[in-house]
Amino acid sequence: MKRLPRPNDADACSPASHPAGVLPRRQFLKQAAFAAGTLAAPWVVPGRVLGLNGAVPPSEKIVLGGIGVGNRGSSDLRWMLPEKDVVFVATCDPQKARRERVKEIVDSRYGNQDCKLYDNIREFLAERTDIDAVLSAPGDRWHALAAILAMRSGKDIYSEKPSCMTIAEGLAVVQTEARYARVYQTGTQRLSEANFVFAIEAARTGLLGKVHTARAHIAPWDAAEMRHDWLPEQPLPEDGSVDWDQWLGPCPWRPYNEAYCRGGWRGFYDFHTSCIGEWGAHTFAQAQAGLNKLDTSPLDYQYVNNESGDGMVTRFADGTIMTLERGDKWWHGSCGMRFEGTEGWVSVADGYSRPEASSPAILAEFNRVVRDYVARTQRPLSHVRDFFDCVKSRRRTVANAMVMHQSMTTVHAANICMWLKRDVRFDAAKAEFVDDDEANRLRSRGMRAPWAI
């Protein structure tokens, strides 16, 4: 039998170099695999451990957890679970029914009962040091805080949109991503879908000539002006089915009402980002990508006298405009966008087999444009795959924290314009409104202890 090398105190894999003599999981697996390879027969190592026949060895798998995975998050999860190099191990949610539903999905996929459940986010993040990345999909009020707490704990994050409640929260996410060198992806998945990629690239690369206008879809329900009251108080469930303090998170204390936990929080200022944020979180990022303005936000926001912001014109510093559109004049389907240039236009929304364009010649470039995008960026046409690839490579994602912050700043500035019922100007470089104390006070909100950033 061969004698295994004996690690010394300087060995990075030595138990002496880790707390309580415990090896990190990946180093333990690598040493175990090394030992298996050096010991004499009859030891047999399964092919899946060595990554044979297309299997991914355990040491190379991304260990994934969940925070607040509800209806939308479950859709994300179903896209993530088939990835061969990902294993989902645990989820955290203040609502018992939601975390148990996630466990059912995960355990059914893996054919076991191994998915662990947590009801306290701080305990979950502190205890699960084995988790590499987190899928976060609670309500709007929690997105930024959950991302910041996860990144501070050393975990990468895929955060559902709208990914911040205020301009200040978005900036805090950017700073945390940079300070802790984490990988962050916001769930604006159309940035990774072929139809939308074509429209964005057609605008960005000059296929439409000089682009002067982008149109971005906002949700056809709710209003920009949100409610500041709250629902009638109901007794808290005695069965412990919800931790109400954690459900509220950083929001002001409000009395419990079960409707909140069933999605009834939408339309309330405490919890929501309005009809503008509901779809604008997607479409503003899409529009700004096609205009080559993912690193900035519009300068001017022109108030429109209606409930939603439909028809608002926002103008960038170079004169390019982006308009907010609620109806179906420019597309059919949800989360639509349209780019207009001196040589033509292109339009797309969910449900299209191919985008629409001003001429067949533009559409004839579809395959080439998409192929060139993939070759140039080396990104997959899959938003979750882009995230997992970046977790491994440590490259920034297509929808990184700065992309999220600048497009969500546009959301918040448009909301503030509607709330103040007048035009506003915003200096993206300074992240402040120009000579406007009233608007600047709305860039942030108080956060309830102990849930402050």
Q: What is the pLDDT of residue 23?
A: 45
**What pLDDT is attached to residue 53?**
58
**Max CA-CA distance within the chain?**
83
13 — pLDDT class (breaks 50, 70, 90)? very low
Q: Which of 69, 63, 76 is nearest to 143 (CA)?
A: 69
Residue 247 lies in a domain: no
In angstroms, the CA 149 to CA 172 distance is: 11
Band (56; pLDDT cuts 50, 70, 90): confident
**Percent over 90 (pLDDT), the chain:** 86
Tokens 């679970």, residue?
81
Distances 270 to 98, 203, 230 between C-alpha atoms, Å:
22, 37, 9
HEC readout, 236-250: CCCCCCECHHHHHCC
3-class secondary structure, 446: coil
pLDDT (tens digit per residue) in 396-441: 999 999 999 999 999 999 999 999 999 999 999 999 999 999 999 9
The range of the structural domain enclosing residue 132 comes to 26-189
Q: Rounded distance, CA 297 to CA 428, Å?
A: 6
Overall pTM surpassing 0.75 (yes/no): yes
CATH of the domain at 161: 3.40.50.720
- Section 114-135 average pLDDT: 98
Whether residues 307 and 413 share a domain: the answer is yes
List C-alpha distances in Å: 12 to 6, 81, 306.
Answer: 12, 32, 63
* Region 382-393 average pLDDT: 98
> Distance between CA 403 and CA 289 in Å, rounded?
9
What's the rounded mean pLDDT across residues 138-143? 96
Cα separation of 356 and 331, whole Å?
Answer: 8
- Same domain for 317 and 204: yes
The 10s digit of each residue's pLDDT in 335-372 is 999 999 999 999 999 999 999 999 999 999 999 999 99
- Listed in order, strand segments (DSSP E) in 46-130 are 62-67, 86-92, 116-118
- Has residue 123 been placed in a domain? yes
**What was the pLDDT predicted at 427?**
98
pLDDT at 25 over 80: no
**Are 205 and 139 contained in the same domain?**
no
- Is residue 105 in a domain? yes
Distance separating alpha carbons of residues 216 and 164, to the nearest angstrom: 19
What pLDDT is recorded for position 54? 63
Q: Is residue 140 part of a domain?
A: yes
pLDDT at 453: 85
Q: What percent of the chain has pLDDT over 70?
A: 88
Beta strands at 211-217 and 184-186: parallel, antiparallel or unpaired: unpaired
Q: At what angle do helices 401-420 and 167-179 cross, to 10 degrees?
A: 170
pLDDT at 52: 54
Strands 337-341 and 211-217: antiparallel
Segment 12-28 mean pLDDT? 41
Number of domains in the chain: 2
Residue 59 pLDDT class (50, 70, 90 cuts): confident
The alpha carbon of residue 401 and the mean position of all alpha carbons in its chain are separated, in whole angstroms, by: 9
Q: Give the dihedral sign, CA 45/47/52/55.
A: negative
User: Among 143, 164, 189, where does a domain finish?
Assistant: 189
Sign of the C-alpha dihedral computed for residues 430, 436, 437 and 442 taken in this order: negative
Instruction: Flag whether pLDDT at 29 surpasses 90.
Output: no
CATH of the domain at 319: 3.30.360.10
Predicted confidence at residue 177, as pLDDT, reads: 98
The pLDDT mean for the chain works out to: 90
Judge if 84 and 144 occupy the same domain: yes
For residues 63 and 82, give the distance between their C-alpha atoms in angstroms, rounded to a whole number.
13
449 falls within a domain: no
314 close to 323: Cβ distance less than 8 angstroms: yes
108 and 194 part of one domain = no
Q: Does residue 326 fall inside a structural domain?
A: yes
> Residues 6 or more apart from 376 whose CB is under 8 A from it?
none
Q: Are residues 122 and 210 in the same domain?
A: no
Tell me the pLDDT tens digit for each residue of 64-110: 999 999 989 999 999 999 999 999 999 999 999 999 999 999 999 99
Domain closes at, from 162, 189, 216? 189
Q: Is 451 within a domain?
A: no
Are 431 and 313 within one domain?
Answer: yes
Residues 288, 301: Cα–Cα separation, whole Å: 15
Query: Hey, what amino acid is at 194?
Result: A
Residue 17 banded pLDDT, cuts 50, 70, 90: very low
Q: Is residue 200 part of a domain?
A: yes
Q: What is the mean pLDDT of residues 4-10?
A: 33
The DSSP annotation for 2-62 comes to PPPPPP-TT-TT-GGGSGGGPPPHHHHHHHHHHHHHHSPTT----HHHHTGGGPPPGGGPE
19 — pLDDT class (breaks 50, 70, 90)? very low
Q: How confident is the model at residue 28 (pLDDT cuts 50, 70, 90)?
A: very low
| Mean pLDDT of all residues in 42-57 | 54
| Contact (CB, 8 A) for 371 and 352 | no
Looking at the structure, tell me whether residues 204 and 83 fall in a common domain: no
Phi, psi angle pair for 83, to nearest 5°? -65, 125
Better-predicted residue by pLDDT, 96 or 24: 96
Which residue, 168, 189, 210, sits at the end of a domain?
189
Q: Sorting pLDDT into bands at 50, 70 and 90, what band is 51?
A: low
Do residues 281 and 305 share a domain? yes
∠ Cα 345 355 82 (to 5°): 140
pLDDT top residue among 42 and 358:
358
Same domain, 184 and 195: no
Q: Are residues 175 and 284 in the same domain?
A: no
Same-domain check for residues 170 and 213: no
pLDDT for 180-235, tens place per residue?
999 999 999 999 999 999 999 999 999 999 999 999 999 999 999 999 999 999 99
pLDDT for 350: 98
Secondary structure (DSSP) of 175-189: HHHHHTT--EEES-G
φ, ψ (nearest 5 deg) of residue 103? -60, -40
Read off the pLDDT of residues 229-269 as tens digits, 9 standing for 90 and up.
999 999 999 999 999 999 999 999 999 999 999 999 999 99
